[in-house]
Amino acid sequence: MLGGWIDTCVEPSNIIVVDPNAENLAVAERLGCRGHTSPADIESSFRPDVIVLAVKPQMMADVLPTFRMFAEGGALIISIAAGTGIAQFESAFGTTASIIRAMPNTPAAVRHGMIVCCQNGHASPEQLKICDSLMTAIGTVAWIDDEHLMDAVTGLSGSGPAYVFYMIEAMAAAGVRAGLPKELAETLAEVTVAGAGKLAISSDEPASTLRENVTSPNGTTAAGLAVLMAEDGLGPLIEQTVEAATKRSRELG
């Protein structure tokens, strides 16, 4: 995320990175950012426009109070923590604080993330534009009004890249079992998934139509889809997968 922001919309010298991990700070400093191991090390006169909280949900209760003095200056708070609701941030920073929850996913590292955002009633139009600018720098952005949907967003797109990576693993392993060399099978799986995704995004047709376009009657694709689309095939399994991740997101909250 940081790399995308620096490449497109933020001067690195205007960014302070707070992280107790020395290796992470070293990376941020090489990018031209200022680094601190604790918010206590930041000058008290500092007035940030935006505070981005990239913290594990289990650590949030300990971390939030350390940023209150900076949040009270009117900074926009953007959180990318799964399962941590807007109410928890309002409790920590005040009920009039400007809060946006954002759920990105790991392809943001290559500027192809999917980021879904939800704001409270105090984020100004200018602050919404700032958030949109930051998030479009690393991928595609969607906004929702109902915060309760964030758990399902987490279950589908937040955790989704891991599902796709596992599918690539499974496809490659199946190719090896079918007789392909391991390296070739991995390349075929990776490029096929990446290409299909790019085609789905660039096409005006829905995924169902693209699938049908590839499927000749009684052909090889139809034979494979007969397994995937069986009553106990991929559809019900993906539904169970997303439901499990969504449930866990609610539990974290």
Q: What is the pLDDT of residues 2-11, one digit of tens each?
A: 888 998 888 9
CA distance 100 to 127: 9
Percent of the chain with pLDDT over 70: 100
So where are the chain's domains? 2-158, 160-252
Contact assessment for residue 115 and residue 135, using Cβ atoms and an 8 Å cutoff: yes
pLDDT above 90 for 127: yes
pLDDT above 90 for 100: yes
Model pLDDT for residues 154-170, shown as the tens digit of each residue? 999 999 999 999 999 99
pTM summary value: 0.89
* Cross-strand partners of 76: 50
Residue 89 confidence (pLDDT): 92
Residue 83 confidence (pLDDT): 78
Residue 135 confidence (pLDDT): 95
pLDDT above 80 for 253: no
CA distance 119 to 76: 10
* Residues 211, 216, 217, 220, Cα dihedral to 10°: -90
Amino acid at site 54: A
Residue 76 phi, psi (nearest 5): -75, 130
Q: Which residue did the predictor score with more confidence, 171 or 58?
A: 171
Residue 176 confidence (pLDDT): 98
Cβ atoms within 10 A of the Cβ of 19, count? 17
Decide whether 2-158 matches 160-252 in CATH topology. no
Model pLDDT for residues 173-228, shown as the tens digit of each residue? 999 999 999 999 999 999 999 999 999 999 999 999 999 999 999 999 999 999 99
**DSSP character for 217?**
T
Considering the domain 160-252 in this protein, what is its CATH number? 1.10.3730.10
- Classify burial at 198, counting beta carbons within 10 Å of its beta carbon; exposed 0-12, middle 13-18, buried 19 or more: exposed
Model pLDDT for residues 32-80, shown as the tens digit of each residue? 999 999 988 988 888 899 999 998 878 888 889 988 888 888 899 999 9
Considering the domain 2-158 in this protein, what is its CATH number? 3.40.50.720
CA proximity to 234, closest of 211, 218, 214, 216: 211
What mean pLDDT value characterizes the chain?
A: 93
